[in-house]
Structure 1
Amino acid sequence: MIASFLSILHYGVFGFLLSLILAAAVHKLNAPANFQRSLQSYDFLPSKLASSFAKFVPWLEITVIAAAIVCYAMRQIELSFLLLFTLFTAYSAMISTLVFQKRTLVDCGCSLFDSNVLIAPKTLLMRNIALIILCCVFYLTTQQTTGSPSEWLFGLTFSCFLFVIYSSVDLLLENHVLLSKLRLKHD
């Protein structure tokens, strides 16, 4: 029973992380100018380099997804974990520099939605730390068996559930910022 639960959790978290990266990559590919502006707002790269980097990042994310799936299929779970963990850690490191600079960010480039809301990098960093924790959950729930079809199906369902929760939290964060601004204007 516990092994089955761990398998479902494992498949669900893995599917969620992959689908989240894919959705973010597609978002960046659909709005490259917005992502370029996001990168420029970090003040890490010169403008020309930010433009090139904005074109490179979504393809890097898609490559990470493909490599993680191939590693997983070859039962190299550690490599899949390292790819995902490294990606989310790199994003967290970029956002953490903004926390130390006490700056706000219109769009981190990782949101699933177009937004013009200034979100505190501390909030985004907490969200990324939760994603890093999920990477660890993925690794720690690795089972020796390949799992039954029902475990895969429940894992897929759990993955969709996690994606809906993530999207809802993303929108709630934006709404919270908007409501805070409204209160300030009203008072």
Structure 2
Amino acid sequence: MMIDPIISTSAVLALSVTFASAASHKLRHPGWFRRQVHEYELIPGLMVPVAARALPIAELVIAAGLLWSTSRPYAGVLAFLMISLYTLAIAINLARGRKDIDCGCSGPAMQQPLQPALLARNLLLVIIALVALLPIIDRPLSLHDNFVMIAAGLVMVLLYTATDLWIANRPLLLKLSGEK
């Protein structure tokens, strides 16, 4: 199955921005992120500082690697694996009944308790990563095509951000409405 380069490039741009943004807040607040990694209780305590330092660096490498056609397949696979790893970490903690910890998804300014909606959001990211890996139809791209790729990538980032904000604020919205 081959897809149009507009679809693939839009997906790649959105993933790259998402990974760069995720790495940014983790690198700017290393102590906070180290606590987040520790709270998941999935790796031995001695490995927490190493993981907390390695994960955002890996996210930056993925973000950059997605932008070049020669490294895109490798970065796409790594993106798929990283999102799957994060999804598994969330799923394990939800299965343990640990909904009270912050997912660490959006930095220290916006706490998001673990909830099933994060699994659905990450599933969409996995699909976008898989779309970015599909081979593209070889065709010339016009200036209009370039504009559409950038605009579509931006729309995906904005939809991801809006979804993230909704998930983060959902408990508060339910509380305000009187629902549980």
Match of 1:98 in 2: 93
Query: Which consecutive unaligned segments of at least 5 residues does structure 2 have?
Result: none
Shift, 1:145, TM fit: 3.1
Change (3 A) 1:44 1:119: closer
Match of 2:32 in 1: 34
State the percentage of identical aligned residues: 24
The letter for the 2-side match of 1:104 is K
The letter for the 1-side match of 2:41 is D
Match of 1:179 in 2: 173
Match of 1:154 in 2: 148
Counterparts of 2:101 and 2:79 in 1: how far apart (Å)? 25
**Alignment partner of 1:137 out of 131, 135, 156:** 131
Shift, 1:172, TM fit: 1.1
Q: Residue 105 of structure 2: SS of its match in structure 1?
A: coil
Shift, 1:11, TM fit: 1.3
The letter for the 1-side match of 2:79 is L
Shift, 1:183, TM fit: 4.7
The letter for the 2-side match of 1:27 is H
TM-score (norm 1): 0.82
**Alignment partner of 2:80 out of 73, 79, 85:** 85
Match of 1:51 in 2: 49
Match of 2:160 in 1: 166
TM-score (norm 2): 0.85
Is 55-64 or 99-108 further displaced after alignment?
99-108
Q: Deviations over 1:17-58 (max 9, x none)?
A: 000000000011111122111111100124442123212211
**Alignment partner of 1:60 out of 58, 70, 73:** 58
The letter for the 1-side match of 2:9 is Y
